[in-house]
């Protein structure tokens, strides 16, 4: 089945540094990737939609300059948290739309736990 590999699974960084999270589609081409943020015991909040070869579309209230999204190829999308602060600590999950043979659904990465100290 369609698999999205997300790395790293956990990262601890110092306040003020940047962190890059990668999501790779292993056996399919992901033209559209979604990035979500999840706070403890809460739902997934969509941060942005990235389409291969074009600029990402950010949801209202999400800082474009803080959360840089790049979708340069059909198999790789990255989220860079720039100048991270403790309030950016969260669980980040990527997702891709899959449409195999007329079916329709989503596949999710395993998530990245970011802790900013």
Structure tokens at 83: 């100048």
Contact between 34 and other proteins by CB under 8 A: the answer reads yes
What is the gyration radius of the CA atoms in the chain, in angstroms? 14
Looking at the Cβ atoms of 67 and 109, the one nearer to other proteins is 109
Q: List Cα–Cα distances, 28 to 2, 31, 33, 112, in angstroms.
A: 6, 9, 12, 21
110 CB-near residues (< 8 Å, 6+ apart): 5, 6, 9
Contact between 25 and other proteins by CB under 8 A: the answer reads no
Contact between 27 and other proteins by CB under 8 A: the answer reads no
Looking at the Cβ atoms of 104 and 117, the one nearer to other proteins is 104
Look up residue 47 and give its DSSP letter: E
Looking at the Cβ atoms of 47 and 116, the one nearer to other proteins is 47
- The site for other proteins (CB under 8 A) is made up of 6, 32, 34, 41-44, 46, 49, 91, 93, 95, 97, 103-106, 108-111, 113
């Amino acid at each position: 089945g369609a698999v999205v590999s997300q790395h790293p699974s956990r990262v601890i960084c110092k306040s003020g540094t940047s962190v890059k999270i990668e999501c790779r589609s292993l056996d399919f081409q992901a033209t559209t990737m979604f990035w979500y943020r999840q706070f403890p015991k809460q739902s997934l909040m969509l941060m942005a939609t990235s389409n291969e070869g074009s600029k990402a579309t950010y949801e209202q209230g999400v800082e474009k300059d803080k959360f840089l999204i790049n979708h340069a190829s059909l198999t790789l999308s990255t989220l860079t948290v720039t100048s991270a602060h403790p309030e950016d600590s969260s669980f980040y999950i990527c997702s891709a739309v899959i449409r195999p043979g007329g079916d329709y659904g989503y596949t999710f990465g395993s998530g990245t736990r970011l802790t900013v100290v």
